[in-house]
């Protein structure tokens, strides 16, 4: 799906003070493209991703994904939209500790409109196939605490793709992993993404990871600047 931001501003309020974080972001991410966003800590990367994904609302401006204006939806409306169309991968994995790897992957599908029409067995089979795809067929009944960081992030990748989302957001997905494990996670993310033809927005600190994507954007002073290459 295509993503379009127009005049997006975000300010946080704390103690009566307004903290401007995004100060006019205009951006189009074409359908099926892969972009990365770079910027120092505190520059607003997570804020921008949350707004693009419909987790949070901008203070001003509009966000569209496909034909839907997320900024015109209620909070429940956005939650429904996310369940149907949005995948997310976090730096700290965010797996549910009381569920097994397989159950963690099943959850978003169970909660999606599509999953409502599937039998439990079909949901389990799709989750199992994705876990096999990320190399964890031997770990389906492990709990997150029994998995390494890299394995937990593999589960999170399977979970992000299980609903076949139109857009996927990854917020520093290698930030808690060593370099080698991180590189494997990115390779896997790229591979899954190529097959699923998802629009992917990747936030990273790592320039070498960013340079593998179609476009590189930098957040600076609350705005987005595109890196022009070659
Ligand atoms: P990044 O992901 O680039 O490190 P963030 O988007 O997390 O940056 O944060 C950008 C700025 O907004 C930071 O100064 C942070 O302290 C502030 N901020 C983030 N979330 C909130 C919030 N919920 N309330 C108040 N300030 C926030
Ligand atoms: Mg962040």
Give the Å distances, CA to CA, from 115 to 105, 157, 163: 12, 18, 8
The CATH number of domain 3-226, selected from 3.30.70.1560, 2.30.30.100, 3.40.190.10, 3.40.50.300: 3.40.50.300
Q: What is the pLDDT of residues 172-191, one digit of tens each?
A: 999 999 999 999 999 999 99
Counting Cβ atoms within 10 Å, is residue 80 exposed (0-12), middle (13-18) or buried (19+)?
A: middle
Is 207 a residue whose pLDDT tops 70? yes
Ligand 1 nearest-atom number relative to CA 49: 6
Please check whether residue 166 is in contact with residue 85, taking contact to mean a CB–CB distance below 8 angstroms: yes
Residue nearest to atom 13 of ligand 1 (CA): 42
First to last CA, the chain: 27
Cα-Cα-Cα-Cα torsion 53, 108, 165, 114, nearest 10 degrees, comes to: -130
Q: What is the pLDDT of residues 80-108, one digit of tens each?
A: 999 999 999 999 999 999 999 999 999 99
- Please tell me the distance between residue 20's alpha carbon and the centre of ligand 1 in angstroms: 10
Query: Which ligand is closest to the CA of 51, given by its number?
Result: 1
- Say which residues have a Cβ less than 8 Å from residue 223's Cβ, sequence separation at least 6: 22, 23, 24, 25
Measure the CA angle with vertex 224, ends 223 and 226; round to 5°: 150
Q: Quickly count: other Cβ atoms within 10 Å of residue 96's Cβ.
A: 12
Q: pTM value?
A: 0.94
In short, whether 46's Cβ falls inside 6 Å of ligand 1 is yes
Q: Helix 120-133 crosses helix 101-111 at what angle (to 10 degrees)?
A: 130
pLDDT for the residue numbered 136: 96
């Amino acid at each position: 799906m295509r993503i379009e931001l127009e005049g997006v501003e975000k300010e946080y309020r704390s103690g009566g003070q307004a903290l401007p974080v995004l100060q006019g972001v205009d951006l189009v991410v074409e359908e099926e493209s892969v972009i990365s966003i770079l910027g120092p800590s505190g520059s607003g990367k997570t804020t921008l991703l949350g707004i693009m994904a419909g987790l949070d609302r901008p203070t001003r401006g509009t966000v569209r994904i496909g034909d839907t204006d997320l900024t015109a939806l209620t909070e429940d409306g956005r939650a429904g939209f996310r369940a149907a169309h949005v995948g997310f991968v976090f730096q700290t994995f965010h797996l549910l500790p009381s569920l097994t790897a397989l159950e963690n992957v099943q959850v978003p599908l169970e909660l999606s409109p599509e999953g409502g029409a599937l039998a439990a067995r079909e949901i389990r089979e799709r989750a199992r196939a994705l876990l096999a795809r990320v190399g964890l067929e031997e770990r389906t009944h492990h709990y997150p605490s029994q998995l390494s960081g890299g394995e937990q992030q593999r589960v999170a990748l399977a979970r992000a793709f299980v609903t076949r989302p139109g857009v996927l957001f990854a917020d520093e997905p290698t930030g808690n992993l060593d370099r080698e494990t991180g590189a494997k996670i990115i390779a896997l993310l790229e591979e899954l993404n190529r097959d699923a033809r998802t629009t992917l927005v990747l936030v990273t600190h790592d320039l070498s990871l960013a340079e593998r994507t179609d476009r590189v954007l930098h957040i600076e002073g609350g705005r987005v600047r595109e890196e022009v290459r070659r």
